[in-house]
Amino acid sequence: MTASDSDGRLGEEFFTPGTASFTEFLAAHRPELLPTNRPFPDGVRAEDGRFPHGTTVLALAYRDGVLIAGDRRATMGNLIAQRDLEKVHPADDHTAVAFAGSVGLALDMVKLYQVELKHFEKIEGIPMTLNAKARRLAGLIRRNLGQAMQGLAVVPLLIGYDVAAPAGERGRIFSFDVVGGLYEKADFHAEGSGSPYARGALKKLFHKGMDRREAALAAFQALYDAADDDSATGGPDLNRRIFPIVSVITEDGFERLSEPETEELTREMVEQRRNSPDGPTASR
């Protein structure tokens, strides 16, 4: 009996002891459902500009935890494919992921990762450690290597609040490369086409002990700088009321900043730019 039988009953594979990984379960029994299957025959690449592509995301640690943010633009070549894309998503109560790269594939990978964490906790009875969560996401990216070589790459950014870490170091940031390499970053990091400009801004704005408001304003300033120099990164759209997405993770869990708070901080930042178009200078 299999899961695809027409009588609607679960197949025996659902009742056989096995791995705590939902991804490995799918790979063994329904591999066609995995988003990491190659979409094209060998030797065929995705045509540039034919698939929506997400751009700049960033993260920074602050006094109470860690913040993650992203612009809202998706592009297809020289066209704006979407103005209000959501690139920041909770993975579980104390973990969040943002992405740059092929949008459709990235969204499927985020959904699979969310199920992966829930499945592990249900099977094992305990949540994964933050280090294990980072390694598990690296494994998903490594499974996508075939599609990345065909031009459909996803580059995520992972943050988490680690209750086992020393006080003041519980907000942690992980970056990845397209082959699944895993790197922990101190203080802040950015990914995507506008990331060099965002990291440059964060270098001058970041300081230890920032409160949430300071950290959010620094993220807005960094995304503004990215949009100023990278056409694929979208700046705040005051007329359409489309603003960057900012979320934080603290001891209390995941929280997305409300739209009124995001709008207020964005308008404050834009007003500062009227008087200082190049942004704030580095503090001494």
Helix (H, G, I), strand (E, B) or coil at 80: strand
User: Rounded CA gap, 159 and 168, in Å?
Assistant: 15
Q: How many CB atoms lie within 10 A of CB 106?
A: 27
- In one-letter notation, the amino acid at residue 159 is I
Parallel, antiparallel or unpaired: strands 88-92 and 95-102:
antiparallel
Q: Residue 153 in contact with residue 102, Cβ under 8 Å?
A: yes
**Given 23, 36, 55, 262, the catalytic residue:** 55
- Active-site residue 250, yes or no? no
Tell me, rounded to whole angstroms, the distance of Cα 175 from its chain centroid. 9
The whole-angstrom separation of Cα 158 and Cα 147 is 21
Residue 185 identity (one-letter amino acid)? K
Burial 159-170 (b: 16+ CB within 10 A, else e): bbbbeeeeeeeb
Nearest-5° Cα angle at 258, 257 to 262: 75
Are the CB atoms for 20 and 127 separated by under 8 Å?
A: no
Q: In which residue are the tokens 């056409």 written?
A: 231
Q: Nearest-CA neighbor of 186 among 171, 196, 164, 205?
A: 171
- Amino acid identity of 251? E
* DSSP character at residue 182: E
Question: What Rg value do the Cα atoms of the chain yield, rounded?
Answer: 20
Catalytic residues: 55
